[in-house]
Amino acid sequence: MVVQNSADARDMRVGVQLEPFLHQVGGHLSVMKYDEHTVCKPLISREQSFYESLPLAMKQFTPQYKGTVTVHLWKDSTGHLSLVANPLKENREPFKVSTESAAVAIWQTLQQTTGSSGSARALAQWPHAQLARSPKESPAKALLRSKPQPNTPDSLLVEDTNRNQVEKKSFNPWGLQCHQAHLTRLCSEYPENKRHRFLLLENVVSQYTHPCVLDLKMGTRQHGDDASEEKKARHMQKCAQSTSACLGVRICGMQVYQTDKKHFLCKDKYYGRKLSVEGFRQALCQFLHNGTHLRRELLEPILRQLRALLSVIRSQSSYRFYSSSLLIIYDGQEAPERAPSSPHPQEAPQVAHGSSPGGLTKVDVRMIDFAHTTYKGSWNNHTTYDGPDPGYIFGLENLIRILQGIQEGE
């Protein structure tokens, strides 16, 4: 429901304002930030069923499932559209916009400068939000006085009182594009009083200062069992014309923090579809390169987790993870130098996701997007498969082989 900012709608103004998730690098459904440790996305019954019946062995490789929430549209007095979720009972409090939220400020600025109908075009011309501000000025205020600059550096410039640049931050445009498309769809396809259900999931990048994220579309087949003939043909063509066919994996998006320029280098799914096998290998190297050097210390912990995931997938009979993605995540903020007595990362014991005792490198490997996953006993499934997913295994094996080659200097 679009709720106007008026006295007769005060009873509706209780909730959590959902923010565009600025670290979404791939996918077409909008992922929203619910709180620091939780994101949410439109509920698809098959995906919910998957999370609710998730095999124990797979839990360490998927985001924690936190339930569902009801969401509605809300419009403030200036015409800004946003999505509002009914809060958890223990967190219920009057809804108010946070002026410190960079994500909200970016979105509101786009609506101010272009109007909601032109936001998609503005995003295409404005690959990253850019502005200069003083340390005392909030990101929101700086964004509200900024204008889209199509041919300027891809960063948020922060200046001290002497106008010296002291920090840069940047924002991946993909999540904002998905957010715009989602709001447009909600406004045009559903009645005003429509309530929408969203999944609540763990924010797997919340522990990272500068989260570097690689989104890999896994498997040799991307269409679900319920796909129409037209959709099936379209997805088969995408696979045949990309590394999905020959490697079982293709890049769906990425962001990697560049320490020399202090901003994120971002690539989208269209970049990933055009890559050759050698281009795919070079893109993996680029994902591990911070602008000054290759982060070789990341390779062993990433490979360790990929091998562990491969073992788990091989044990999951009847599962087919069609159109799912695999995220590889690490922090662009490098860990402090280890003391001489500290173990080498390759010799250190494996720790839980996102943790880094003793300054060891943090990495995460997580499976996401299960709207087309099928397995024996799954919701409304019409086809049952035997054995583990051969396409997913093929993709994981090739990914491991290529990363091993990079590690060995090939």
Class (C level, CATH) for 207-334+360-409: alpha beta
Domain ranges of the chain: 13-104+172-206, 207-334+360-409
The dihedral built from the CA positions of residue 203, 204, 205 and 206, taken in this order, carries a sign that is positive
pLDDT computed for residue 106 by the predictor: 53
287: nearest Cα among 272, 265, 319, 261: 265
Q: Name the pTM for this structure.
A: 0.78
341: which 2 tokens? Answer: 């007595």
Give the H or E element holding residue 245.
Answer: helix 243-247
Q: Note whether 53 and 33 are within 8 A (CB).
A: no
Q: Note whether 21 and 210 are within 8 A (CB).
A: no
pLDDT computed for residue 224 by the predictor: 80
pLDDT computed for residue 61 by the predictor: 98
pLDDT computed for residue 263 by the predictor: 92
Q: Note whether 381 and 45 are within 8 A (CB).
A: no
Dmax of the chain from CA atoms?
67
Distance CA(40)–CA(30), nearest Å, equals 9
pLDDT computed for residue 26 by the predictor: 92
Q: At 302, is the secondary structure helix, strand, or coil?
A: helix
Distance CA(134)–CA(139), nearest Å, equals 9
pLDDT computed for residue 75 by the predictor: 77
Task: Pinpoint the alpha helices (H) of 190-228.
Answer: none
Q: What is the pLDDT along the chain (410 residues), one digit of tens a residue?
A: 333 344 334 434 568 889 889 999 998 889 999 999 999 999 999 999 999 999 999 999 999 999 999 998 887 778 778 889 986 544 434 444 444 455 555 555 555 544 444 444 434 333 333 333 344 433 333 332 333 333 233 444 333 444 444 444 567 888 888 888 888 888 888 776 688 999 999 999 999 999 999 999 999 988 887 888 888 898 888 888 889 999 999 999 999 999 999 999 999 999 999 999 999 999 999 999 999 999 999 999 999 999 999 999 999 999 999 999 999 999 999 877 654 444 444 343 444 454 454 456 789 999 999 999 999 887 666 678 889 999 999 999 999 999 999 999 86
Q: Note whether 402 and 368 are within 8 A (CB).
A: no
pLDDT computed for residue 379 by the predictor: 62
Distance CA(318)–CA(345), nearest Å, equals 36
b/e burial code for range 150-179 (CB count within 10 A of at least 16 → b)? eeeebbbbbbeeeeeeeebbbbbbbbbbbb
Q: Note whether 399 and 298 are within 8 A (CB).
A: no
pLDDT computed for residue 121 by the predictor: 41
Distance CA(134)–CA(108), nearest Å, equals 20
- Residue 117, judged by CB atoms within 10 A of its CB (0-12, 13-18, 19+), counts as exposed
